[in-house]
Structures are given as structure tokens and as C-alpha cells.
């Protein structure tokens, strides 16, 4: 299920307050649904329905975390949090994916036990509740879709919803199998499939949030190309100690030492301004901190990227 990784700036079309209202509605609907599915799962004897309920509950939790993180991320930087609070959303996404892993492993365990000791299931109740779940999932997905393009954290919630919708379809099929053929074994199979699907999705998504927290180079930037572009600026002899990372999901930052050509020290300020302009224009890096070194006093044998190992 591809999602949009275009790093364009189309994310100003929903103002934050309207976005918050959407997320709040999505939370309310998902909590109501979870309750309905858990009660339905207990009364109908369907583990798949409870699996879907857990998934929906994780959606609601995902959205609550996303909601809180959006609020926190908007706080201005202060002296204790000089980089601002933007990473709250990345941490939220990581917490979210981690809880999904735990839930999925538990569901697989329960599903395997059920497979060997099947329980009676009320197929019609399963079908009706799963149909209600499917409608709610589609509504929630519609509410969060526009915002998913812009935020890793909302995208995590959106991905949950799509997975949920598929889960609900699978549960409807499981209920149908009980009604038509009396096949109770389909229920634990669907449970395990839902869990496997969640795990597969987490695997593909969790890396991005870990990379941001580990200060990795943003995926769209080639460090060597950036360093080469800096060295191409007239008056720059070489660049070293380059650090390139994401402040938060859409904001790249760079620090580096520039060695100025002999005789060009008088134009050092202009050279620095040119380098910053080039970084912003070519690579979208607007947070650049540059340390200037005169070629006769430059660090010797320095690491090009990162810092020297002691």
C-alpha cells in the first residue's frame, strides 16, 4: 500500500485547528467502535473480531498520541528545548509502532491456541459488527488522508486505518464462512493474518522514525553531493566535519567546517553567505551552521563526515 513520500510543500492546505478537529472526531469514532467490537467479540465468540477491536483500539491510541504530539510539536523553541518540539511527532510514531508489534505477537499466540481448540462462533453477529467497523474505518481514513501526506505521525495513524479496513473485510469473510459452511477455523486464521499484516507494515514504516531519532542523513539528500556543492563555491578550499540530519520530519539541518582558500579570507563572510544560499536553493537545507577556518590554520587530516574519532 504505497503512501506519498513526496516532500513537497502542499501541507499548508489544512490549518492546524481544522486538523485537530478532524483527529478528535476520528478518536471518538474509533473508541466507540472498539467498545462495540470487544462486546461483539465476547458475545459471538470470535477472536478475529477482538483482533480487529484491538487494532481499532490501537488506532484510537495512535490518534490520541498523534493529537497530543501535534499540539506539543507546535510549541515554540525555548532555552531548554532549543531545537523546538517538532520531534514529538516522530517519537509518537515510534511509540505507536512498538505497541502494534506487542499486540500483533499476542494475537498470533491467541490465534494459534484457538486453531487447535476451536470455539463456537455466532457468524451473523460477527458480520454485522465487522460491517459497522468497515464503515467507521473508511470514515476515519477519509478524515486523516489529507493530513497523512504531511506528517509521519498522522501517516502512522492513516496506515492503521487502511489496515483496519482490510481487517474488517477479512472478519466479514470469516463470519460468512461460519454462516455458510460452519468453518470456525477461518476465524483464528484471519486473526493471524491481521496480525501478520500489521507486523509487515510496521517493519516498512518504523525505520523512518528511528532514522530521524538517530540523526541520520535525510533520505532525499546525498551527503557527498552536498559536500561537493559546498566545495564548488568559489573561495572554499575544502569542507570537513559535515553533519547532515533531520531536525524533524521535513526540516534538514547541516553543520560543517569550511576551509577558506589562501588570500580569500577577506571575502569570508560573502563566501559563507553564498554557501548558505546554495544549500537552501539546491537542497532545501535552511538550518546551516558553518565554522570558517583559514587554510593556514585548518584542522589537519579531519574526517569529511562526522567528527574525528579520539
* Residue at a domain's end among 178, 193, 213: 213
**Residues 142 and 235 both lie in one domain:** no
The pLDDT assigned to 13 comes to 43
* Residue at a domain's end among 157, 191, 213: 213
**Residues 155 and 248 both lie in one domain:** no
* Residue at a domain's end among 170, 189, 213: 213
**Residues 95 and 239 both lie in one domain:** no
**Residues 74 and 125 both lie in one domain:** yes
Which residue from 237, 224, 234, 233 is spatially nearest to 304, judged by alpha carbons?
Answer: 224
**Residues 195 and 231 both lie in one domain:** no
**Residue 43 structural domain:** 16-213
**Residues 235 and 159 both lie in one domain:** no
Residue 39 covered by a domain: yes
The pLDDT assigned to 290 comes to 93
Residue 309 covered by a domain: no
**CATH code where residue 254 lies:** 3.30.70.1350
Total domains present in the chain: 2
Q: pLDDT digit string (tens) for 4-42?
A: 333 333 344 446 666 677 777 777 877 888 888 888 888
**CATH code where residue 191 lies:** 1.20.1510.10
**Residues 143 and 174 both lie in one domain:** yes
Q: For the chain, which ranges sit under pLDDT 70?
A: 1-19, 59, 144, 146-153, 156-157, 160, 249, 309-310
**Residues 241 and 188 both lie in one domain:** no
Residue 69 covered by a domain: yes
Residue 62 covered by a domain: yes
**Residues 139 and 255 both lie in one domain:** no
**Residues 268 and 180 both lie in one domain:** no
**Residues 195 and 76 both lie in one domain:** yes
The pLDDT assigned to 9 comes to 37
The pLDDT assigned to 239 comes to 92
Phi, psi of 305, deg, nearest 5: -115, 145
Amino acid at each position: 500500500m504505497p503512501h506519498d513520500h513526496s516532500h513537497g510543500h502542499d501541507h499548508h492546505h489544512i490549518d492546524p485547528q481544522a486538523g485537530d478537529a478532524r483527529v478528535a472526531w476520528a478518536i471518538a469514532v474509533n473508541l466507540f467502535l472498539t467498545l462495540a467490537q470487544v462486546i461483539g467479540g465476547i458475545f459471538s465468540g470470535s477472536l478475529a473480531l477482538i483482533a480487529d477491536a484491538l487494532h481499532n483500539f490501537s488506532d484510537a491510541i495512535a490518534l490520541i498520541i498523534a493529537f497530543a504530539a501535534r499540539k506539543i510539536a507546535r510549541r515554540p523553541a525555548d532555552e531548554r528545548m532549543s531545537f523546538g518540539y517538532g520531534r514529538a511527532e516522530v517519537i509518537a510514531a515510534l511509540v505507536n509502532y512498538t505497541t502494534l508489534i506487542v499486540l500483533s505477537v499476542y494475537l498470533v499466540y491467541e490465534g494459534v491456541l484457538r486453531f487447535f481448540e476451536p470455539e463456537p462462533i455466532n457468524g451473523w453477529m460477527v458480520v454485522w459488527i465487522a460491517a459497522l467497523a468497515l464503515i467507521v474505518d473508511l470514515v476515519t481514513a477519509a478524515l486523516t488522508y489529507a493530513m497523512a501526506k504531511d506528517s509521519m505521525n498522522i501517516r502512522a495513524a492513516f496506515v492503521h486505518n487502511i489496515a483496519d479496513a482490510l481487517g474488517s473485510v477479512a472478519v466479514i469473510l470469516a463470519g460468512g464462512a461460519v454462516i455458510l459452511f460452519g468453518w470456525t477455523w477461518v476465524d483464528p486464521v484471519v486473526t493471524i493474518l491481521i496480525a501478520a499484516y500489521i507486523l509487515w507494515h510496521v517493519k516498512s514504516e518504523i525505520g523512518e522514525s528511528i532514522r530521524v531519532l538517530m540523526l541520520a542523513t535525510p533520505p532525499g539528500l546525498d551527503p557527498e553531493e552536498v559536500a561537493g556543492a559546498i566545495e564548488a563555491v568559489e573561495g572554499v578550499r575544502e569542507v570537513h566535519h559535515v553533519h547532515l540530519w533531520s531536525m524533524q520530519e521535513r526540516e534538514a539541518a547541516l553543520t560543517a567546517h569550511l576551509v577558506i582558500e589562501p588570500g580569500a579570507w577577506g571575502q569570508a563572510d560573502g563566501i559563507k553567505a553564498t554557501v548558505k544560499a546554495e544549500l537552501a536553493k539546491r537542497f532545501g537545507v535552511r538550518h546551516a551552521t558553518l565554522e570558517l577556518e583559514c587554510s593556514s590554520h585548518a584542522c589537519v587530516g579531519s574526517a569529511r563526515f562526522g567528527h574525528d574519532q579520539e
